[in-house]
Structure formats: structure tokens, C-alpha cells
Amino acid sequence: MLSNESLHPPSFSRSNSQASVDSSASMEEFLREIESIKESSVGTQEEQPPTAAAAEVKPVDEGELEAEWLQDVGLSTLISGNEEEDGKALLSTLTRTQAAAVKKRYNTYTQTLRKKNKQPVRDVRDIFGVSESPPSDSCEHATQLDGTKEEKDLPGVTKTSRPLPDDASLNSTTLSNGAQDEEGGFVALQSGSVSILEAIPDIPVHTNGSADAEQSVQSALSDDDYLGKNIPAEAEELSFEVSYSEMVTEMPDRNKWKKSDIKKEDYVLTKFIIQKTRFGLTETGDLSVEDMKKIRHLSLIELTAFFDAFGIQLKRNKTERVRGRDNGIFGVPLTVLLDNDRKKDPAVKVPLVLQKFFQKVEESGLESEGIFRLSGCTAKVKQYREELDARFNADKFKWDKMCHREAAVMLKAFFRELPTSLFPVEYIPAFISLMKRGPDIKVQFQALHLMVMALPDANRDTAQALMTFFNKVIANESKNRMNLWNISTVMAPNLFFSRSKHSDYEELLLANTATHIIRLMLKYQKILWKVPSFLITQVRRMNEATMLLKKQLPSMKKLLRRKTLDREVSILKTSKVPQKSPSSRRMSDVPEGVIRVHAPLLSKVSMAIQLNSQTKAKDILAKFQYENSHGSSEHIKMQNQRLYEVGGNIGQHCLDPDAYILDVYHINPHAEWVIKP
């Protein structure tokens, strides 16, 4: 929490800080919230058990931090030395900037171990291979945004973030250790002397997998109205198809950005237009749990590479480790709350008690002036807290006696008393440094977008529900006097908190930047939860690589000799038709361009559909609706149905109604097609 001294903000001008608040009124509002937090926390701190209140402070060890980072991004295999398919598949999909970020952290980790005279670890060149490029190769002269050169040796790292074309599915000397193709789209990895995945040939394919970039654009979506039909002059197009870190690295005049002040006026925030490709847009909830886990790993790597491009370290710390309570409501980790809630409803993604708080405020508090500035009755709040802890999980709490004011107070307390803050506080210093470098709102949004994608599922789903709720409050601004700026100012101390000690100046800077981040989240609520298509492309390649490794390399410790490997690879290259297997979708009885769609919950359970270049997901749904239109109940069922691609190179993907299915079919020909809720 903010210290007592921080209640008296240090004097500094806008030139000294990018996070200074524009109006004194807003600062007073912020400080009042801190005072309220301090007053309410006096009693609760005494009641909390030692495990929930005490933080374990450990000295920072850079090697341990990098090891933790490698584990968090799914690369524990680099630490353990185990030959895990998932880790190798992930490495094989990395772009140039992402691979450089991994290499940098791995080098720090190995150097720290060597200083401690511990067991030798693998050299980074054993993982990324040895570069065959001449000294003039552009990869060796990539520059950071602060004007300094990157590490010169980026062995095995390719120049672009282009995806693997559909017809080149990991079939070119995949298991050989030959020289890397300099024009490939991904990283050629090695384990010892054996290359795991060779670089992809230079084939002109659009980043989203389409062979024609000009045909990839379908419609434009804006953060305000999702339509983008009349794009104003101040609007800016935002692409999800190219890696953000690659985009920044290749951006001209990247050192000439103007510094971006935090201003109170909403109109200074750029309006973004998102171009919807022929594959449509994907929400975070549209992908399977396993694929979202890969998205999180890739997002953290990409976020680190993104900050690296600006010469900013995404510092991690181990200064606070709070276990939290095992039962009750307040001070309990989100995952524990969800585990308890899923005993009642397996589909729950947001804690039920939090949904109840939303409901109570929406019932009668949306038009209440200063709803989140009111403190409520202290005695009642304490009573309700105790009753919720004791009775909520048994469904014995009487919600009808609680008013919206107490619900709003306890909603803030709920987030403030989580064992760890909803949003990782360690990202804020890097975000402050990013703003000091002067990039505009677009770059800030890209950093925030990756932060959101890297959040654990429970945190991300809860954050999305919270921002949706706050936008409902803001929609009633004329009556409740709570606009985007007010909500951000009041909620920042509750959503971003740290138990570490900071100076007065650092406390204020962190708090004001947290306010700005929440403001960005509220402004761009409608597009912030879209999964960037370049990450989905990487997930597809990961799944393809994993399947290939499992098929061809059942035991990496017992590799066949070189000649045997070459013979197997040549068979793969010359084989034009996939071997028939239960998982193969290219069945002989289904012609090219024809898919069989299954709808197990409808009366018409299956249908073969001939695809053309204009067939959309919603067209297939409409066809099933027509075939099942004999009863009104079937019509009602279809309103909640969506088309999914299942299997192949994706776990499960709920398709955008505007997605062109032939394009999806081409990048995932072995998928099954299912209509379900």
C-alpha cells in the first residue's frame, strides 16, 4: 500500500514525470481514497492470520529471476535439460525479437550459475544453433530504440515473423542439422548436434496465413462502435497481424517520438480501428484452455521482447510472497474462490461473490452520485464482511439487506485484500520507463495488450468482467458523476498495490501510472480482449511442431543415427498424401473444399457443405437454422450456437461469424467442424 509519507506528494513539474496528474481535484480524490484504505485496513490487518499478512522478503538473485521467467514462459526445459516437445515446439515458433529476448535471459541465467560454480549448463548456441551468416547480416546489426546495438550474436534467429505456409507444414529436412535458410520465418533450433526444426522457406504468405494480403481485409472494427464505417481523421489503424516487437524494431524514426503526457480529457485518447481479416477476430474465451496457456507464454515472451526493443528491462522481483487464506471470501486467492464456485457451476470464470457485488450496484446504485467515493456505514460493512466469510459458500448470506453503497465498498476491499494484486505491479516501472521514452498511445496500448494476454486466466477474466461493469457505471456519468477519470483515480490504489517499500516520489509515480493504465483499459475495453492473430498463428505452429516431434521423436535421448533420420525425412518430403489415421480429416470420401459440419445438439446433426471463397461461419449457421426451422425450439437453440474448428493445429477455436471458412480450412485442413453453444 502507499506509505503515510506518500499522502503528501512531492513537488515536481510535468517535465520531471510522465505520470503527473493534471488536476488538483483529481489528486485530492486519489489521496482521499488512500486515507479511506488506511482507515479500513487498521481493523482488518489485526484480524488476518499471519500467513495472509506477512510477506517473505528475499534478496534478489538475477539468475533466479531469469529462471523463474523461463519457467513462466513455458521454457523450463532449458533449465532442467529435459527434452520436452512443448518447449522445443515453442522455441521453434519464436520471431527474431522473441528469440533474442529468450537468449538474453538464458545467458544471464547460465552466467549466474557459472559464477556460483554450479553444475555446467548448456550453452545458448546448443539451443539456437551456430549462425552461418556473414558479419554484415542485418540480424547482427539490429539496433535498440535507445540507439545501442543488440547482442551481435543471434545464432539461428531469422529476420521476419512470417508464419509457416499451409503447404509447407514442417516437411523440409525437419530433423536434419543442415545450414539454416537465412530467409526463413522462424527459429531453427538445435539440441546438441541435431536440429529440431529448420527455418521455413521464404514464401510470400501474408502474416495471418492468407496467400494474398490484399484479400485479408474484411471490415474495420473500432474501439468505440465496432463498425468503423466513417473513420474520423484522428483515428488510427491498429494491426494484430504482425508481432508488436518486430513492428517496433522496424519502425522508422523510432527515436523521435514526442513524450505523451497523461491528460484528463478523454478526447486525447486515440480512437483505434482494427481491421478484421478473413479469419475474423478471436476473443480470449474463444480458444481452448491449453491454447490459451500457450498464448500466455508467447505473450510474456513478446512483452519482454517489446520492452527490450526500447532498451527497457521488464524487471521482476521476489520481495513479496503472500499465501492468502484457504477459506472465506476476503484475502482468498482468485483460483481458490473459483475452485469453490465451480462446485456449484463448472462454467464459472469470475468469482460468484464478485458477480453479486456487481449485481447489487447495478440494481440501485448506477445512478447514485459518487457511488465509488462513498464509504458506507463502517459497522454494517464489517458485519457483512464477517457474514460473507462465514456464510457465502453455504448460500446462506441474505443479499437483500445489503445496499449498493456497502456493496461498492466491499467490492473495492475484495480487490485490495487479494494476496497479490489483480494486475502485476512489476509491470508498472517498465510502463513508466516506456512513457518516458515518449511513445504515443498506440505503443502504450500494445504494451498493455500484451500484459493482459499474459495474465493468468482467473485474473484476465475477472479484469474483463470488472472493466465491463465499470463502463456501465461510466455510462450513467450524468447522474452518478463518475466518469472514466474518476473511476480510474479511485480504483487505482485498490487494483494495483505493492507491499514493497518505495520512496514518496516512486509511490506517487506508480499510483498515477496505475491510474493511467486503468483508464486505457476502460477506454479500449472492446478491443483489449481480442487475441492478436500473430499469437494465434504461433500457437498453430507450436501444435504442428509438437505433433511432428511426438510422431518422429518419441525419445530425444535415443535418436537414430544420421542416415536413418535423413531417410525418414526424405519419406516425409516425397509423401504427397497424408497417411490415413483415425485423426486425419482428409478422408477419401470428402472432396477437396468440402467440410462435414456436426451439430450434436440439433435435430439435423450432420451436413456436408461445399465451401467457396465467400462462405462465412454465419452462412453455415444460417443453413443449419433453415434445416432445423421446423420447430420453434430449434430456432431458439440456434440463437446461441457458434461454429468451432476442433483439432488439427488448434485445440478448439470458436470462429468469428464473419470468418471465411475456406481460408480457415486451408490453414487447418485436418480440423473437425462442430456447431455448439
Tell me the per-residue pLDDT of 550-599, one tens digit each, with 9 for 90 and over.
876 555 445 555 555 566 556 655 554 444 444 444 444 567 789 999 99
Nearest alpha-carbon partner for 672 in 653, 533, 637, 627 = 653
Task: Identify the residue with better confidence: 492 or 18.
Answer: 492
Tell me, what DSSP letter sits at residue 655? P
Confidence class for position 440, pLDDT limits 50, 70, 90: confident
Tell me how far apart the alpha carbons of residues 207 and 164 are, in angstroms, rounded to a whole number: 9
User: Rounded mean pLDDT of 668-673?
Assistant: 96
Please check whether residue 399 is in contact with residue 471, taking contact to mean a CB–CB distance below 8 angstroms.
no
* Annotated domain spans of the chain: 334-524, 593-676
Predicted pLDDT at 469 = 96
Q: Which amino acid is located at 471 in the chain?
A: N
Task: Give the tens place of pLDDT for each residue, 450-461.
Answer: 999 999 999 999
Smallest CA-to-CA distance from 95 within 142, 62, 130 is with 142
Question: Class of the 334-524 domain?
Answer: mainly alpha
pLDDT at residue 206, rounded to an integer: 35
- Mean local confidence (pLDDT), 613-637: 80
Q: Which fold has domain 593-676?
A: Ubiquitin-like (UB roll) (3.10.20)
Could you report the per-residue pLDDT of 500-544, keeping only the tens digit for each?
777 778 778 888 888 999 999 999 999 999 999 999 999 999 999
> Over 80: is that where the pLDDT of 159 sits?
no
Q: What is the mean pLDDT of residues 649-659?
A: 97
Band (pLDDT 50/70/90 cuts) for residue 158 is very low
pLDDT of residue 67: 87
Contact call for residues 158 and 199 (beta carbons, < 8 A): yes
pLDDT range class, residue 422, cuts 50, 70, 90: very high
Stretch 433-448: mean pLDDT, rounded?
A: 87
Would you state the pLDDT for residue 497? 77
Query: Which is more confident, 210 or 634?
Result: 634
**pLDDT computed for residue 3 by the predictor:** 37
Alpha carbon 490 to its chain centroid, in Å, reads: 25
Query: What percentage of residues in the chain have a pLDDT greater than 90?
Result: 40
What's the confidence (pLDDT) of residue 437? Answer: 80
Measured distance CA(96)–CA(139) in Å, rounded: 8
pLDDT band at residue 630 using 50, 70 and 90 as cut-offs: low
CA distance 446 to 244: 7
- Burial grade of 66 (CB within 10 A; 0-12, 13-18, 19 or more): buried
Give pLDDT, residue 315. 75
DSSP string for residues in 161-226: -PPPPGGGSS-SSTT---PPPTT-SSPPEEETTEEEEPPPP-----TTS-S-GGG-EEEEEETTTS
Write the pLDDT tens digit of every residue in 369-408. Answer: 889 887 778 889 999 999 999 999 999 999 998 999 999 9
What confidence tier does 620 reach under pLDDT thresholds 50, 70, 90?
Answer: very high
Which tens digits make up the pLDDT trace of 40-72? 654 554 444 444 444 444 556 778 888 889 989
Spatial distance between the Cα atoms of 210 and 213, rounded to a whole number of angstroms = 6
Distance CA 162, CA 205 (A): 7
User: 441-454 vs 427-437: helix axis angle to the nearest 10?
Assistant: 160
Beta carbons of 535 and 295 less than 8 angstroms apart:
yes
Model confidence at 150, pLDDT cuts 50, 70, 90, reads very low
Least confident segment among 199-213, 339-353, 451-465, 641-655: 199-213
- Count CB atoms within 10 A of the CB of residue 615: 20
For residue 170, pLDDT over 50 is answered with no
- Phi then psi for residue 174, to 5 deg, are -60, -35
